[in-house]
Structures are given as C-alpha cells and as structure tokens.
Amino acid sequence: MKKLKAMKLSILMVSFVFASAFCSFGQNNTGHGHDNHQDHAKQETHDDVMHATLIQKSQAEEILEVYLEIKDALVKTDGKAASGKAARMVELLSDQNDDLAKKIKFDAKHIADTKDVNHQREHFNDLSENVYTLIKATQANKTPLYKQYCPMALNNTGAFWLASEKEINNPYFGDRMLHCGSVKESLD
C-alpha cells in the first residue's frame, strides 16, 4: 500500500514537472515560427474588421470592462459569475449589428447560456480575439492592457486573452495552472 502511494506521488510529481516545463517553454517563446504565422494572418483579419465596426469608443470601454470581469470569473473557475457578466455584454451590444458586434455577441451569448466553465472557456478564446480587435480599432483602453498567451490552453492548441495586469492569471486553467502563459503584446 505504501509503495502504491509512493508510486502515485512520483507519477504526480513527474507530471507536474513536465507540465511546468511545457508552460515555461511557452513563456520563453519569442514568437517565431508557427505562432508568428498565425499572428500575421489574424492581424490581416483584424485590419479588415477595424475599419468596419460601428461600436463607439465609450461603448467599447464598457465592453472591455465586462470582458475583464468575465476573464476574472474564469480565472476563479466561477461559471455562474462568468455567465452573468457575459449576459451583461450581450445586453451592452443589443443595439449593434455590424460583423464585429455579432461575433462578440455570439460568444458572449454562449458563455451566458451555460455555467459549464469548460464550454465557457472554449468561447472565451474567440471572444478574446474579437474584443482585442475592438480595442485595437477604438483604442478604448484607458490603461495598459496585456495580450497574454498560454500554449497549453484548449488541449494544447494555445489561446490568448487580455488582462489589465502584467502578471499571468490564466483564465483557461484557473488555479490548476494559474500562472501558465506569457505576455505577447502590450496595448498602451
């Protein structure tokens, strides 16, 4: 029995070491290679959408505030709070129908319609990309924002999010891997 417990503990420790090493690898990534290609393709899409949004700066500021509250709820693995905040985002965009607003509402509605944190986190990735596009288009952030990235999120496909603090607080893993990720861009 003691050997079995010791063996389980050893396996757990080795798993943690590998997960930490993989996460640290993502923190030291300089953005070359595959990620850089994806960022370039996404940037072209962002540029196209930036000129098409009808969302005003003041409304974008409110959307950003609610987005950060959703992110904080997911960091805490609080599906109920994330759902409530996402419903508020849908409400904020109720009078908007341009393509970017529709994309943001789509993912916010999916987050609002469930308390399942895993499902919410799947939609949070696209929500993050679209809110990022909105913020770049409207320059609605009054304080610095940080575009952060975790290579292990969403079954190791990687995912971005925006944060108002430079410290990594990962909304895709919560307290399981709270500080996994790195800052990829600063929006001043």
Is pLDDT of 61 > 70? yes
Report if residue 148 sits inside a domain: yes
Model confidence band, residue 52 (pLDDT cutoffs 50, 70, 90): low
Q: Is 134 helix (H, G, I), strand (E, B) or coil?
A: helix
Contact call for residues 156 and 149 (beta carbons, < 8 A): no
> pLDDT tens-digit profile of 103-161?
999 999 999 999 999 999 999 999 999 999 999 999 999 999 999 999 999 999 999 99
Report if residue 11 sits inside a domain: no
Structural domain total, the chain: 1
Report if residue 5 sits inside a domain: no
Bigger pLDDT: 166 or 20? Answer: 166
What domain range includes position 91? Answer: 33-187
Is pLDDT of 85 > 90? yes
Place of tokens 């992110």: 71
How far is Cα 8 from Cα 44, in angstroms, rounded to an integer?
48
Bigger pLDDT: 26 or 173? Answer: 173
Model confidence band, residue 6 (pLDDT cutoffs 50, 70, 90): very low
Contact call for residues 175 and 182 (beta carbons, < 8 A): no
